[in-house]
Structures are given as C-alpha cells and as structure tokens.
C-alpha cells in the first residue's frame, strides 16, 4: 500500500499434528521479548527471537517429505525460460527486466521492435544487476529505470537495499550501457524524481533540514530543482507541501506531438490531491483546477486524461465518479467525458495499467461484473471522443504493461487463474489487437475450471467470488479450500496466474476462492467507499458471508477451509482470525497490519489514515478498539494455528505488527508458525529461491491443516 496497489486450538492438536514437539514446547516459553524490544527492527533481542522462530518454523515444515519436491517445482517454475518477457518500450527498442537461475537479481536486456513482434526475439544483455551486486558487495534489488524522453538515453536507475522502498539513484546511459561518470547520483532515501531536461531534475526527497524532511507518513514533501554538478544543498526550491501531507511528487507527461506537462502531485492524504503545473523555464508553479480524487493521469493529443474517483460538479454539469475525463491544461474550464461506467462496471483494478495514451489514441481497461473489456478511443477535431470495445476472454485480468506516446503500439497482458499470461499487441492507429505470445502452462490445468458465484452479505449486498476447482469435483463439504481477498484502498482482486499456487494447491486437489469484497474497486469508487473507516466491517462481513456461502453450497466446511491475505489483506486475515475463529482451520497472515490502535505511528502508517480513520478521532478509536486484531486476541479462545510471515526490511508496513501479534499468541499459549524474511521489503521475497522457500512452507502448512487425513 503506497501512492505513485490480516486472521481452544489445544483441543484440536491431537487431530491436527501440525508442530513438532520442539515447536510446541517453545509456545509456552517465557522468553518472549517485550514490545519495546520487538519494536527495534534491527535490535539484537528482537533478531534473536526472529532467528529462533524462523528455525522452529523451518524445522517443523521443511522436515515434511513433501517440502523438497514442492520447493524444487516452485523454483523451477519461478526460473522457467518459458515465462513471458514483459515488454517495456524504451530508446526505440523493447526492453525487459529478466530473472532466472543464472541471473537471480536480474538483467536488463533489449531487442528490436520488429524482432519482438516476430515472436522469436533475440535478446541482448544491457545491464547485469548480479554483476554490480557482486562487485560492490551489496544486496541490490532493481527499482526500475526512469528515462528522459524522447531519446531515452539518459536514465535514472533505482537501486534498493534488499527491497526497501528507500533507494538510491544513479544516472545510466542506454547508448553505452554504463553509469555516467560524474553523472547524477542521489543517495539512499524515499524519493521521487522526474527529468526537467538533460541537465536538470525535479527531486522530492528528504533534504536533511527540519523544514524540508519527511511527512508524518515518512515520505518527502519538498520538491527542488537539481542541476547537473550541484550538490543536494545547492538545489533550488520549486514547491513545498507540508509535513502533514502524505507525499509530494513531481511528474512529467509527454504526448505524441511532443508537448510536455511538468506537474507536481501533492497528495494531501492517500486519496486527495492537488495538481500543480510547473513552468519549465521559470519554475513558477500554478494549481490546475482538478478534482481532489483521481488516478490514471495520461496525456493524449494535448489533453490531460484522468480517472475520476469522486462526483465532480462543474460549471457545465455533474460528472459521476468512475468516469474518464479529459481537460485542456491551457483552457481547463470545459471537461470532456470519455466514458462513464455503469454501477456494475469500473475502470481497471485501482493500480497502474488501466489507462494509457499513444500517439493517436487512448486505451482503457474496463471491467463489467469483474469481467474485462478493452476500450480503444480517439479524439476527433471537434473534441468528441469515439471508441470501440474489444471483447476479451472471461475470468481473466487485463493490464496495459507498456505504451509509448511516440508510437501507435502498446502491449496488453492477459492472464487468469488457470490461463497462463499472454502478451497482446495493441495498434491504436488501426484500433486492432493481435496475440503475440502465450506462455506455456507451468502446472497442469487440464482438469480445472473457473466459475463465478455470488454470496449475500449480512446487509443484503451481493458479493461476487471466483472458484477454481476440478471439473469432476464432488460437493460433499470435504473439499480442502483456500480463500483470499483484499478489500481496501479501492484495489480490485482479479484472476492472476500463480504457478506456485497451481503446483502446491490446484494440482493436489485444492479448491481456491477469491472474494471481491467491498473496500476494493471491483464496482468503482462506491464499492470502496462502502468499506472505508468504520465501514471496514462491511468488508469483514462480506468475507465471512462468502465462507458461509461455501458451506451452504456443500463445497467445504470449517475444518477444510483456510484463508490467506497480505498487507491490507493481512489485516483482513487478522480480523477474521479473531472475529470468526470457528470458520477456518488455517490462516496465513502476510506482511500485515495488526496493531490498529497504534498503526499511525508505525512505519508509513500515518499515510493510511484516509483509509482506516485516525485513532486520534473518537470514531476511529471506537471502531478499532473493537476490531484491531492484536487487541482482540483473548485467552481461552480456540484459535486455529496461524502461519504469519513478514520481512525485516519492510519499511512500509514494517515487521513490528507481525512480531507483536505472534508474541501475544505465544503469551496466550497458542501454537503458531512465524517466518520473517530478512530481506525483500513489503513486496515480499526478492529472488526465486526465497519465493520458492516461503511458498513451500505455506504449502506444507496448508497440507497439514486442510488436506491430511483426520
């Protein structure tokens, strides 16, 4: 979750022999660190506890004879040469960042556009991150390339230590494939940078001064212009937000005719922003008259295009939320509505990749009842937008993975639970699409099918959910079932191809359920708004209602049902674990928020007050006093043994939530599995071997809880 996309077992243990005797013995160990000790992320006492808990979890789960073959298959899938190369249009070529067995950290590589579209690309290595990490004895993780258009010769390469959000930036030349000697080099920190010109950057970061540091959310709020050869202290102020903002970030948009917009996005909180326009010659800043809630900024044919996340009352009438709107930055008084979805439709999934501008058109991903369509639009000379719809396969997710304002070409990725990713070429000049690549199956999906059902929540709301199951399944309430959801920040949960899930769950007879609960963006901003602040209980009720619907349909039962979620989904699992421990027999809680009475003062927690509500308000405190998972844990309750995982290097949510929850369970003598990866950041593990290890641990845990004979 960031700007610029959590859930008397002792009586059940004889029936479900999950933990080794060594692990069970330590559950009652008095050597549980204090809260103060656990809050010191790299403190010696906390890390000793983490090391001991990791060892217990790994001893109990890796000793299972199923662990090694599952690990090896997941690793092989993660490193398979058959995986699709996701394209990035850059420097007149197609670039791709690739990781495999020989390149665990990854390489940047490129091929010609013609070569890529031929279906048999020949790749040339441009930059080797493994070689850099070895030479510098550093734990580098790639944070991407930010290049100066239109030539894309001068780029800023982001390098993160072990996957943290904080990163350093170095200037990289695509014509020489080397770092630029004495080029731009910005030290480690949370920062956002845009190119003003070849010799000037717009930089938002901690400038090391009391009035130019970080917001209470932990993000920068002062934008300065940094010229080539200058030190950070010599940079010139361009715009200042306030320490109470969430983040202030510069950006540059370019259309197909070469016009450029220099903008500063002032995030006053997670959802409300002001957009400032920067004159590149004078650095004068003026505010654009835009609504406060939007996403998906694009620039097409001189029009600033965005996705509206609120009703917008203008002088010419009201524009409903979820519309896509265009304004002329030079004369912004007359907005043009490109599309207004219906109540059961929405634009994209709340992340990047739903709206993209090319030289001569606009691409939009639309979902209708959580089923995708591709919309292609053009703007006529009289300012009218016309478009056509291209039907896409059902039960899949669609994402625009690359577009270029200088070209008519863009690339779309399609994937589903049991459909491997595909890359489609989109031609906005001809308004056509063409399938370029289909990844081979990395697990056997021949006996599987996907269906969509609806459950009735406690207030009567119809909540859709997907089910992946064997074609010849039997509804006898005995199917081992894994259920997931997210339910927050307007982010939709959509069908995604996970080879590890196919290998460890689908192939082995498991049923998979993805619930599109409120709080997400599946039905637009209203679906999200229904579960903000204290409305989060709607999301929690939706999730439990889907579980009960599974029982009613005789698909599974509480003893065979497990749940999994991460980040805000980890919070969801924590709430379900404490509110409805009787509904599940396994709970995987990943990189979670769990101490909601203190979340605003933990890592970047202050940035999410617009989602969860501030504990400083009576309403916010009253809700989370009842719902916060850490505080909701009670003695003498039969909780299912959870699997909790996090990362030491997560500088967004942080590992402290998970640590405190696990420690509290230990104090209550509740068995648990705890695994804290020492690297990876909030996104999780950063190399294939670690991903395979953590997923295999989960697989053994789920097998023992939900699949093994009883």
Q: Over the stretch 63-74, which tens digit does the pLDDT of each residue have? A: 999 999 999 999
The DSSP call for residue 418 is S
Q: Is residue 10 over pLDDT 50?
A: no
pLDDT > 70 in the chain, percent: 95
678 or 608: which leads in pLDDT: 608
Q: Is residue 89 over pLDDT 60?
A: yes
Q: Is residue 28 over pLDDT 50?
A: no
pLDDT tens sequence across 216-238: 999 999 999 999 999 999 999 99
Domain count, the chain: 1
Query: Does residue 647 lie within any of the structural domains?
Result: yes
Query: Does residue 536 lie within any of the structural domains?
Result: yes
Q: Which of these is catalytic: 160, 407, 567, 628?
A: 567
How does residue 684 score in pLDDT terms, banded at 50, 70 and 90? low
Give residue 332's pLDDT. 87
pLDDT > 90 in the chain, percent: 91
Collapsing DSSP to helix, strand or coil, 445 comes out as coil
Mean pLDDT estimate for the chain: 93
Query: Does residue 364 lie within any of the structural domains?
Result: no
- Angle at 689 (CA atoms; ends 686, 695), nearest 5 degrees: 85
Q: Specify the residue for token string 């460890």.
A: 504
Domain range for 568: 9-76+442-707
Query: Does residue 153 lie within any of the structural domains?
Result: no
Q: Is residue 244 over pLDDT 70?
A: yes
At 91, list the tokens.
Answer: 């420097």
Q: Which of these is catalytic: 469, 498, 528, 682?
A: 682
Give residue 681's pLDDT. 79
pLDDT tens sequence across 101-160: 999 999 999 999 999 999 899 999 999 999 999 999 999 999 999 999 999 999 999 999
Q: Is residue 384 over pLDDT 90?
A: no
- Angle at 109 (CA atoms; ends 103, 110), nearest 5 degrees: 160
Cα dihedral across residues 27, 33, 39, 42: positive or negative: negative
Cα–Cα distances in Å, from 247 out to 188, 273, 420?
Answer: 17, 9, 37
pLDDT tens sequence across 505-532: 999 999 999 999 999 999 999 999 999 9
Query: Does residue 615 lie within any of the structural domains?
Result: yes
**Mean pLDDT across 361-372:** 95
pLDDT tens sequence across 536-568: 999 999 999 999 999 999 999 999 999 999 999
Q: How many CB atoms lie within 10 A of CB 45?
A: 14
Q: How many CB atoms lie within 10 A of CB 270?
A: 21
Whether 567 is a known active-site residue: answer: yes
How does residue 5 score in pLDDT terms, banded at 50, 70 and 90? very low
d(C-alpha 504, C-alpha 110), whole Å:
34
Give residue 685's pLDDT. 62
What is the strand order of the sheet 88-90 is part of? 88-90, 93-98, 107-111, 124-128
**Mean pLDDT across 415-441:** 95
Give residue 620's pLDDT. 97
Q: Which of 362-366, 390-394, 450-454, 604-608 has the lowest mean pLDDT?
A: 390-394
Q: How many CB atoms lie within 10 A of CB 424?
A: 21
**Mean pLDDT across 45-56:** 96
- pTM (two decimals): 0.91
Q: Which of 59, 32, 6 is nearest to 670 (CA)?
A: 32
From start to end of 63-190, where are the E strands?
Answer: 88-90, 93-98, 107-111, 124-128, 140-147, 154-161, 167-173, 178-179, 185-189
**Mean pLDDT across 612-634:** 98
Q: Is residue 26 over pLDDT 80?
A: no
634 contacts 643 by C-beta, under 8 angstroms = no
Whether 682 is a known active-site residue: answer: yes
pLDDT tens sequence across 660-682: 999 999 999 999 999 999 877 78
Q: Is residue 7 over pLDDT 50?
A: no
With helix as H, strand as E and coil as C, how does 274-329 read? EEEEECCCCCCEEECCCCCCEEEEEEECCEEEEEECCCEEECCEEECCCCEEEEEC
Q: Is residue 190 over pLDDT 90?
A: yes
Query: Does residue 489 lie within any of the structural domains?
Result: yes
Query: Does residue 390 lie within any of the structural domains?
Result: no
CATH number assigned to the domain comprising residue 486: 3.40.50.1820
Q: Specify the residue for token string 């980040």.
A: 567
Query: Does residue 88 lie within any of the structural domains?
Result: no
């Amino acid at each position: 979750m960031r700007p610029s996309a959590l859930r008397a077992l002792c009586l059940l243990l004889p029936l479900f022999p999950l933990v080794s005797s060594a692990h069970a013995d330590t559950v009652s160990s008095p050597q549980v660190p204090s809260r103060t000790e656990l809050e010191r992320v790299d403190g010696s006492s906390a890390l000793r506890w983490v090391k001991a808990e990791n060892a217990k979890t790994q001893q109990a789960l890796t000793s299972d004879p199923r662990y090694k073959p599952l690990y090896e298959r997941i690793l092989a899938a993660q490193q398979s040469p058959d995986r699709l190369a996701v394209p990035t249009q850059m420097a007149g070529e197609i670039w791709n960042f690739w990781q495999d067995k020989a390149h665990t950290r990854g390489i940047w590589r490129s091929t010609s556009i013609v070569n890529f579209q031929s279906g048999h690309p020949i790749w040339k290595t441009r930059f080797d991150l493994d070689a850099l990490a070895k030479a510098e004895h550093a734990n580098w993780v790639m944070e991407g390339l930010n290049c100066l258009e239109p030539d894309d010769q001068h780029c800023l390469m982001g390098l993160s230590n072990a996957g943290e959000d904080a990163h350093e930036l170095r200037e990289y030349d695509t014509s020489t494939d080397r770092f630029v000697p004495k080029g731009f080099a910005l030290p480690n920190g949370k920062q956002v940078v845009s190119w003003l010109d070849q010799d000037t950057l717009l930089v938002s970061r901690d400038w090391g001064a009391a009035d130019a540091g970080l917001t209470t959310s932990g993000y920068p709020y002062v934008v300065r212009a940094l010229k080539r050869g200058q030190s950070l202290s010599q940079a010139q102020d361009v715009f200042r937000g306030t320490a109470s903002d969430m983040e202030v970030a510069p950006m540059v948009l370019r259309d197909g005719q070469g016009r450029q917009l220099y903008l500063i996005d002032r995030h006053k909180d997670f959802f409300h922003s002001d957009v400032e326009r920067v004159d590149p010659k004078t650095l004068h800043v003026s505010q654009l008259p835009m609504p406060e809630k939007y996403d998906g900024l694009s620039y097409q044919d001189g029009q600033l295009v965005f996705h509206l996340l609120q009703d917008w009352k203008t002088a010419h009438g009201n524009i409903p939320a979820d519309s896509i709107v265009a304004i002329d930055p030079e004369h912004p008084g007359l907005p043009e509505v490109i599309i207004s979805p219906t109540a059961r439709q929405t634009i994209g999934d709340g992340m990047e990749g739903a709206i993209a501008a090319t030289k001569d058109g606009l691409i939009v991903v639309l979902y209708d009842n959580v089923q995708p369509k591709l919309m292609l639009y053009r703007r006529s000379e009289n300012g009218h937008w016309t478009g056509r719809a291209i039907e896409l396969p059902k039960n899949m997710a669609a994402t625009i993975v690359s577009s270029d304002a200088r070209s008519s070409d863009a690339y779309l990725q399609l994937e589903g639970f049991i459909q491997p990713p595909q890359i489609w070429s989109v031609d906005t000049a001809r308004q056509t699409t063409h399938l370029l690549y289909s990844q081979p199956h990395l697990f056997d999906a021949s006996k599987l099918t996907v269906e969509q059902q609806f459950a009735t929540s406690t207030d009567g709301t119809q909540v859709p959910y997907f089910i992946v199951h064997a074609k010849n399944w039997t509804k006898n309430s005995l199917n081992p079932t894994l259920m997931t959801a997210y339910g927050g920040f307007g982010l939709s949960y959509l069908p995604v191809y996970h080879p590890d899930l196919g290998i460890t769950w689908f192939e082995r007879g498991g049923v998979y359920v993805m619930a599109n609960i409120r709080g997400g963006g599946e039905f637009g901003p209203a679906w999200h708004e229904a579960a903000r602040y204290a409305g989060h209980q709607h999301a929690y009720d939706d999730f439990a209602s889907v579980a009960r619907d599974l029982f009613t349909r005789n698909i599974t039962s509480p003893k065979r049902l497990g749940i999994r979620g991460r980040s805000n989904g980890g919070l969801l699992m924590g709430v379900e674990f404490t509110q409805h421990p009787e509904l599940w027999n396994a709970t995987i809680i990943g990189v979670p928020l769990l101490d909601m009475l203190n979340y605003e003062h933990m890592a970047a927690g202050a940035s999410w007050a617009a989602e969860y509500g501030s504990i400083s308000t009576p309403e916010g405190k009253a809700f989370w006093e009842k719902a916060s998972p850490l505080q909701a844990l009670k003695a003498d309750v039969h909780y299912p043994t959870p699997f909790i995982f996090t990362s030491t290097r997560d500088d967004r949510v942080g590992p402290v939530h998970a640590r405190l929850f696990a420690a509290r369970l230990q104090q209550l003598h509740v068995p648990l599995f705890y695994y804290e990866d020492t690297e990876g950041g909030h996104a999780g593990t950063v190399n294939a071997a670690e991903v395979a290890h953590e997923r295999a641990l989960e697989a053994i845990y789920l097998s023992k809880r939900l699949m093994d004979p009883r």
